[in-house]
Amino acid sequence: MSLTLPVPDSDALAASHALQHQIAAEIAQHDGPMGGAIPFSRFMELALYAPKLGYYSGGAAKLGKDGDFTTAPEISSLFGAALAQVAAPIIAQSSPNILEFGAGTGKLARDVLTAMAQQGVRIDSYAIIELSGELRARQQEALRDFPQVTWLDDFPAAFSGVVLANEVLDAMPVQLVRKDADGWRELYVTVEDGAFAFTPRAPDAQLKQRIQTQIPDGESLIEGYLTEVHAVGCGFMATLARMLAAGKGAAILVDYGFPAHEYYLDQRIGGTLMCHYRHHSHPEPFYLPGLQDITAHVDFTAMALAAQDAGADVLAYMNQASFLLAAGIGELLLKLDPADPKRYLPQASAVQMLVSPAEMGELFKVLVVGHGVTLPAAVMAADRTHRL
């Protein structure tokens, strides 16, 4: 592999080496007739979430100019304010509670709570489920003035209110599958000459079924076609749906991805797996495990069906631009005085980034699933669930 990327410091490099040894040891434990190997989904899980060493469970900064990537809440507080304008009428129909998954630096929580207070909407509880110890610490500092914020370690059995998940699904482990001459194969990870490498294995019955149901026209795809199967994401959506079905409310999920008929195109032969390291993007998942994010685009059709099958209603689906404009982000921007260029121009530029098709407006999508509530008319007018 020949990547020209920033060199990590010695402590970070040592942590990555420790994680590599841990992954290699687990591969050795699975030795068999075809040699030791683990599914790529397990490799990705360890690379991102291994205790103290994984990307999200370790201590390195992930967000902002000193991290690896920037998310919509970091770009503008108007993103959270717009979400609050959709969340408020849902809360009015359910309960004054918000649950956020993967809250990043805490900026979205702060912006939503601030906007809710400005609207006169009382929030009794804002719970956060966060796997990263480093990010949880940043959240606790950023949200110390909001006593209704608490942290949970797992899903509640039932929930009423609004669930927020911004760029959560893309970081869930995926299975990699490749169309070979004799059919679909799952890619496992092994060790060859001291380095991680892929090795194909026959898929089990469960994966075979998921390939058949998730990939439209999979049999017509060309030999060598590589893509992802989202079993963990589907499991997350099913649990989320059951939680909402036991209560009343809606989940707003924002992420980059496609519906199935756009995800598995002939020209997307290499899949969507992508890595992020110090604001550089590249396709090499074996590069310095634990120091880089590993993501895959979201198959929103699979996510919607998983939620629906588990008892939730698919309330809306659209691109981020349509959602934010329906949520009133344009009107929020107009509340700023254009005669004050120091305040207005940065926010106008940020909104342009959030809604422009050339930036985040088209690639990022919004999926809303729920139970017992309806969405504002402006959001429903922008709904494109028929595209799923």
Would you state the pLDDT for residue 157? 95
pLDDT tens, position by position, for the chain (388 residues)? 556 777 888 998 999 999 999 999 999 998 777 679 999 999 999 999 999 999 988 765 554 555 556 899 999 999 999 999 999 999 999 999 999 999 999 999 999 999 999 999 999 999 999 988 888 999 999 999 999 999 999 999 999 999 999 999 999 999 999 999 999 999 999 999 999 999 999 999 999 999 999 998 898 999 999 999 999 999 999 999 999 999 999 999 999 999 999 999 999 999 999 999 887 889 999 999 999 999 999 999 999 999 999 999 999 999 999 999 999 999 999 999 998 999 999 999 999 999 999 999 999 999 999 999 999 999 999 999 999 9
Identify the sign of the CA torsion 257, 263, 268, 274. Answer: positive
Beta-bridge partners for 129? 101, 152
- How many angstroms separate the CA atoms of 342 and 75, rounded? 16
Nearest to 187 by CA among 112, 71, 273, 74: 273
d(CA 112, CA 163): 12
For 245, the token pair is 């079905």
The helix (run of H) or strand (run of E) holding residue 109 is helix 107-119
Sign of torsion over alpha carbons 299, 300, 301, 305: positive
The answer to whether the Cα torsion of 275, 112, 96, 94 is positive or negative is: negative
Distance CA 267, CA 226 (A): 11
For residue 349, the tally of other CB atoms under 10 A from its CB is 12
**Fold of the domain built from segment(s) 72-171+232-263+296-387:** Rossmann fold (3.40.50)
The pTM assigned to this predicted structure is 0.95
Distance CA 155, CA 236 (A): 10
Q: Which residues of 193-342 form beta strands (DSSP E)?
A: 195-201, 226-229, 248-258, 274-277, 280-282, 293-295, 298-299, 313-319
355: CB partners within 8 A, 6+ apart: 320, 321, 324, 325, 329, 361
Structure-token pair, residue 373? 């509530």
pLDDT of residue 143: 98
3-class state of residue 357 by DSSP: coil
Domain ranges for the chain? 72-171+232-263+296-387
Secondary structure class of 318 (helix, strand, coil) = strand
Cβ-based neighbours of 43, under 8 Å, separated by 6 or more: 23, 189, 196, 285, 289
> From the CB of residue 134, how many other CB atoms can be counted at a distance below 10 Å?
16
